[in-house]
Amino acid sequence: MTDRYAVFGNPVSHSKSPRIHALFARQTGEDMSYEALLAPTDGFVAAARAFASAGGRGANVTVPFKEEAWRLADRRSPRAEVAGAVNTLEFGPDGIFGDNTDGAGLVRDLKSNLGCDVAGRRVLLLGAGGAARGVVLPLLLEGPEELFIANRSAEKAARLAVEFARLPGCALPVKPQGGGFGELAGASYDLIINATSAGLQDARLPLPLGIFAAGSLAYEMLYGRDTPFMAQARAVGARVADGLGMLVEQAAEAFFVWRGKRPETGPVIAALRQP
């Protein structure tokens, strides 16, 4: 029998995940289906449980349900535990397992697809919401020289940095710092990751011109649009990447959780980039 998977979100019709997982399944010969399921904003838990009862084996979870998915899981991976959000669920006989593959997806895209090592680099993470929170630990574990979290609400970034600097049971090689955009004056970074949602409103971030070091990479977590952040980086000669690679890599990591196989992501990223 074909194993069923799905992505839950609201909205969800735009999701590229069904196409990505169909390509992974074809490539690896796995007998599985994957569909996009719209859950009402107040009905995610009921929809996920109904899907599991009907034989669903696992699911991805996207906006706005990642925190609810975290609470729904009976067991969680350490990386999901600290992220406070779950994007991958597995329904098994011993309950619901929750994982978060977003950070691993980002790090893999940076290292394998873009040739950008995080180790020893000065890294700036823009934003302190759910998208930023999910990638802090995987970035720190790579051993950057420095990680600064900058956010419009400075307090939120400072709190996030303190939280990760004090993670119990985790001797991190570097402690993150956090604050407002004003604190960036005079600083420059090798890797600047935009995890804010400013691009969705075409809003420009108040970044000082010198923030992009020579040879730096500007990484926009959004995809499918050219954001003001990307334009700002391009204007000063920085390398620019969007979040499509991260999307495919987090999916590959979820596929591995479910099927124990690592699909090749290069051809899938290339297929998605076709107009």
Residues at the site binding ligand ATR, with contacts judged by CB under 6 A? 127-132, 151-153, 156, 196-198, 201, 203, 205
Contacts of 94 (CB under 8 A, 6+ apart): 74
196/216 with CB nearer ligand ATR = 196
Query: What is the phi-psi region of residue 174: left when phi exceeds 0, alpha when psi lies from -120 to 50, beta otherwise?
Result: beta
Residue 255 C-beta: closest distance to ligand ATR, Å: 23
- Which H/E stretch holds residue 213? strand 212-220
Question: Which of these is catalytic: 16, 66, 111, 175?
Answer: 66
Residue 245 C-beta: closest distance to ligand ATR, Å: 18
66 is catalytic: yes
Residue 165 C-beta: closest distance to ligand ATR, Å: 18
For residue 34, what are the β-bridge partners?
A: 5
Contacts of 136 (CB under 8 A, 6+ apart): 103, 125, 147, 149, 160, 164, 176
Contacts of 89 (CB under 8 A, 6+ apart): 48, 58, 59, 60, 61, 69, 72, 73, 96, 97, 98, 99
59/125 with CB nearer ligand ATR = 125
Q: Name the packing angle between helices 154-165 and 130-141 (round to 10°).
A: 40
Residue 212 C-beta: closest distance to ligand ATR, Å: 17
Residue 177 C-beta: closest distance to ligand ATR, Å: 16
- The one-character DSSP state at 202 is T
| DSSP string over 43-88 | -HHHHHHHHHHTT--EEEE-TT-HHHHHHH-SEE-HHHHHHT--SE
Q: How far is it, in rounded angstroms, from Cα 7 to Cα 60?
A: 4
23/124 with CB nearer ligand ATR = 124
52/132 with CB nearer ligand ATR = 132
The residue number whose beta carbon is nearest to ligand ATR equals 129
92/182 with CB nearer ligand ATR = 182
Active-site positions read 66
